[in-house]
Amino acid sequence: MEPHSHTPPRLPLELLLMICNEAADSLETLARLCRTWRAFLAPSQRLMYCDVDLEAKSLKETRSWALAVSRHTHLAERVQSLSLRLPDVQQLSPTDSAKIGHALLACVNLKKLDFLRATTGVVDWRTSNLDFVLHMCDFQLRSFTTSYFSFGSELLRIFLAKQNELRFLAVLPGSWIDPLVLEALPHPRPALPNLIGFKGDAFRIPENRSFQRLELFYTNGLPSLHQYAETLTTLNLISESTKGVFHLSLSSLAVSRMLPLLRHLGLMSATQARELRSVDTLLRVAENLPLGRLETIAIVDRHSKVTTENVLYEAAKNMLETHSSLRRVAFGANVAKTGERMCIVARDDDATGEVETKMVNDLDFESVSMFWA
């Protein structure tokens, strides 16, 4: 009898990748595959370390990841997207700060970075900046979202001055930026030649930038956007007022008329209302908007209520049928006895022009926003 072979079976790399791709949504499953058979190690790690989401992870887990990529450069080189949420600098030990810095330095192929603050409230920038972890990094970002840094920092400006591929900058509450802070001397002015999109406070848009896409948060009124008349194609207006989309429409009507290139408009009321009002207000807002040039529109109002989902469907369908330029309409509101719902109607791009309809069970504005598209 021939002796039994102990050589493990060989599977094509394509098959291993297919198996790992099926488990791509679960880091725990990918980790199990790594431990189950060595052949799964490389394809699993390729997925585990490509898009790294540590936003909801503990500091201990973030520390472990940082140590892994610092020690194993082949893992760091696979990181394309990174999202992390850290406590204030005062709550980080010098060792933790150094580990985060070393990890970022090692991620030379990073393209998307979300660097967020775990706490809210007033920030003392004299003691709360972690900008030194970025200024030595050589990666070229395409997207940078932060609620952690002050853009008045010299080290952050040195970092931004190297970001020649950056397309999207999102400055969320917790960070600080002033419209002229990137222009101020004697620090170098970040050229950011490919920057097309800004997301942040409506009254803190960086000056002297030809933005094509804006997503703006505001409470009372909007600044003039006439300087973007020759460039702006996508505009999201997110009202944090208790007056919701009705309040939003008064400003958006004037704004959209001064933007002849505008093709994608999104309106959302971000705050929850104690008392919901009839959807009639929402429909009047939609009817008064200048939609002749638009290709997509999304209206999400947490302050409005409808009796049935069909009301949302009819409103979205009628708007799509009335305006031939529109390819997609999304309406979101509260449905009685059901909760938040959003109806999305879209026209096929082919010659038939058939309309497809989808009703989703939440008001996910990001899913219908064209800002990142």
One DSSP character per residue, 269-317 reads: E-SPPSS-EETHHHHHHHHHS--TT-SEEEEEEEEEEESSHHHHHHHHH
96 CA to centre of own chain:
26
Residue 251 has pLDDT above 80, yes or no: no
Exposed, middle or buried by CB within 10 Å (0-12, 13-18, 19+), for 6?
A: exposed
pLDDT in tens, 31-48: 666 666 566 566 656 666
The CA distance from 262 to 233, in Å, is 4
pLDDT in tens, 103-162: 999 999 999 999 999 877 667 666 667 888 998 899 999 999 999 998 988 889 999 999
The CA distance from 164 to 258, in Å, is 30
Give, to the nearest 10 degrees, the angle between helix 280-288 and helix 309-322. 10
| Length of the chain (residues) | 373
CATH number at 51-196: 3.80.10
What is the pLDDT, as a whole number, of residue 271? 74
Instruction: Write down the domain spans for the chain.
Output: 11-48, 51-196, 210-373
Among 20-24, 57-61, 95-99, 292-296, the least confident range: 20-24
What is the CB neighbour count within 10 angstroms for residue 118?
A: 15
Q: Which helix (H) or strand (E) holds 18?
A: helix 13-22
What is the pLDDT, as a whole number, of residue 46? 66
Residue 53 has pLDDT above 60, yes or no: yes
Beta strand 213-218 with 197-201 is parallel
Structure tokens at 295: 């290709």
- Cis (ω within 30 of 0) for the bond into 260? no
Query: What is the average pLDDT value for the chain, to the nearest integer?
Result: 83
